[in-house]
Structure 1
Amino acid sequence: MSSIQNPKSKIQNPSDFTQKLQDLMQRVEISSFKALSRAAGVSEHQILRLRQLGVEQMRLDVLLKLSQALKVSLNELIKNFSQVELVKEAELQSQELLQQLAHIRKEYDRLQDQFQQQRQVTLQEFQQSSLQQLESLLVQFPTAAYKAKENTQLTAVKILPLIEKPLDKLLQQWDVEAIAPVGVELPYDPQLHQLMEGSVQPGEIVKVRYTGYRQGDKLLYRAKVSPVTVTSEQ
């Protein structure tokens, strides 16, 4: 008898067909492969070939006997146990996977664009809020600087409030506070202070030369300090 052959098939080790065969056997209440061998009148070796390799290289008479025992048509048996069908199924799954990946990529690009747009909006809102907080400084400081240049007798201390008030308001709005005012003498804490010169031990008295800042529990900048025994210009 002739056999089912597929010279174009390149699959040497396809997925095991055992589960498919067991499903068909359960439908006709055949409990074991040995019982199927007796019911179909074929050897157990032929059934093992069907489980491991499918219908390729099997004789048509054997397949016909198995189809009758399993109560399925020969075409259905060939379709369910064909390596070619496995290849088609794998190709379909690959195409679906590629489509899913393309969809995911498209959604990722869309979210990236949305994020960039939102980031730009947030940046603009931040800038506008900052400019509102600094409005008095932006408006009054150029005028104060102009007057200071016109009148060299005008002391700088008189224009300091124009800078300090809007700056203090902005820092308060952002929950930013100074670690210590400039000129204050206090115990040295290496966690909060950066020594500019000399050497001191934690707890020894230092003088703040440049103030530091923290925002809530987060340290932004350590205050720059120097030993009180060392004279250093601010």
Structure 2
Amino acid sequence: MNESNQPNYTELLQETMNKVGVHSFNHLSQVTGVSRRQIQHLRQGEVSQMRIETLMKLSEALQLSASQLLNMFSSEAISHISSEPENLSLKQEYQRLQQQLNVQRETLRQEFQQASLQIIESWLVQWPTAAYSARQNEQLPAVRLLPLIQPVEQLMAEWGVIAIASVGEEVPYNPQFHQLMSGTAQSGDMVKVRYTGYRHGDKLLYRAKVSPI
């Protein structure tokens, strides 16, 4: 087949890449570990010449199901997938690997939850009893409850969750990280932190709530 007669899925692939924040074929190759030659096969709709593992890596990076990738980038698969045994076998293998990936994701999710629960185990066990005792005895010093929060603080640290200042701290007002509870303040004015805010890496989770001094 002449090159001019070959199907060209380059524009479709670029649009799909842009939706998931992959902006070049080199970048796609880097994040998937798939060679540029294999990506060229995809751009030309030559899915049948690609390994199943390669297609699965691409479908994962492009946030597509195996069937979606197969149908989007192979006109042959669209027209003959239900009638040709070879293509049907390809689709079945896709579905098998997709199910395997789903099982792996669920396993990782459960392992993550178990590790997190192990970190806060002492808090889960002790906090309800401590809270009950505090309700029964109003004279119980609240400071005795503070050590019970340490496992939760440890978990937050494990996850990379960082507090924005401490309650009671006086800091220069920054509207990017601070939310006024009342009154007005200009950037740089001193304010007092009433409720702690949090960042997760470079992402802002909650702004700290502050009041003018």
TM-score, normalised on structure 2?
A: 0.56
SS at match of 2:134: helix
Deviations 1:119-174 (A, max 9, x none): 211111111111111011012112222332343321222212212x1122112222
**Aligned-pair Cα RMSD in Å:** 2.4
Aligned to 1:178: 163
* 8 Å CA contact 2:195, 2:210 repeated in 1: yes
| Partner residue of 1:218 out of 197, 203, 211 | 203
State yes or no: 1:146 paired with 2:122. no
4+ aligned runs moved over 3 Å, structure 1: 93-101
Deviations 1:165-196 (A, max 9, x none): 11221122222211100111111112211223
| Partner residue of 1:121 out of 92, 107, 121 | 107
Return 5+ residue gaps in structure 1 as ranges. 1-92, 229-234
| Partner residue of 1:155 out of 141, 145, 150 | 141
Structure 1 distance, partners of 2:81, 2:164, is: 62
Structure 2 distance, partners of 1:171, 1:95, is: 49
SS at match of 1:159: helix
- For these two proteins, the number of residue pairs brought into alignment is 135
Question: Sequence identity of aligned pairs in percent?
Answer: 58
The structure having more radius of gyration, on CA atoms, is: 1
Structure 2 distance, partners of 1:99, 1:195, is: 65
Structure 2 distance, partners of 1:95, 1:114, is: 22
Structure 2 distance, partners of 1:107, 1:145, is: 54
